[in-house]
Amino acid sequence: MKPAANSPAPAPHAPVAHVLDAFRLDGVRALVTGASRGIGRSVAVALAQAGADVALGARSHGALTETACLVAKEGRTAVPVPGDFAEAGVAETVVDDAAAALGGLDVVVHNAGVLPSLPDGSPAMAPLQDSAQEDWDRVLSVNLNATAALCRRAHRHLVESSRASVVLMSSLAGVAGTPRMEAYAASKAAQISLARSLAAGWARAGIRVNALCPGWTRTDMTAFAASTAPLSDWLMAHVPMGRWAEPDEVARAALFLASPAASFLTGQALLLDGGASVPDGGLAGIPKPPSPFAA
């Protein structure tokens, strides 16, 4: 058992022989949620490539099997732990199943999340005044309440680890105004706040907690925007680097936060957004196309 939260600070982190070794996760037992596709799948593979065994959480068991095959190709153990975080008690079950299968937990990357959706599964983009309370409740339930439940249950396992790290997958939407995505933005801002509070509360137990905030990333969730030229062009005009991020770029940042390379980093929100969070997107002098949301 590691020291209690009010005990003296842990000993300084042990040095590594080579700087690249600091990015290794050999023998680490990791849980990645939302691992069936997109960013979550890329994170799971990246952690496996760095040496971790990975438990894979998501709603779709079939898609998790595909991710498990990719992890296994890296020579690491892959354990699907399916569950729908919209259901009460599932977050706790996923954590316990992952810890039981791997013999404990050292790293948790919580990537599972939702947007309000239409009956066909496409995102429901509506201003708050025109949105349904049911959509708000579902988004906050999955993106915030389940996050808290997962972290609460993970603590009992992470406190036994000497290399414990939690990465909450927040979003640029959590730090920037995001019209028509108010519920999602509020839930992602809350994840940042939760990461900071847990980082302060759990630091003396040796558990690091950070938030990772990707900007516009090319995934199934954002396909509605990436595949619509006027909308995509308008969004990219606000990104100084002028392009969408790819899931593997987000995965590399998650690996950094989870690894010993970030051993003195906790309570932070790492923005991975191509410069979009720079005031006015860093593009004050560059004309932007009209907003497709303009009345």
Residue 55 to residue 39: CA distance in whole angstroms = 15
Of 165, 144, 187, 172, the residue nearest 245 (C-alpha): 172
Residues 6+ apart with CB under 8 A from 244: 216, 217, 218, 222, 226, 232, 236
**Mutual orientation of helices 90-102 and 146-158 as an angle, nearest 10°?**
30
Q: Are the C-beta atoms of residues 35 and 58 closer than 8 Å to each other?
A: yes
Q: Phi and psi for 150 in degrees, rounded to 5?
A: -65, -45
- Specify whether 19 is catalytic: no
DSSP for 30-55, please give it. Answer: EEEESTTSHHHHHHHHHHHHTT-EEE
295 DSSP assignment: -
184, 202, 244, 256: which one is catalytic? 184
- Look at the chain and count its residues: 295
Query: So which residues are the catalytic ones?
Result: 184
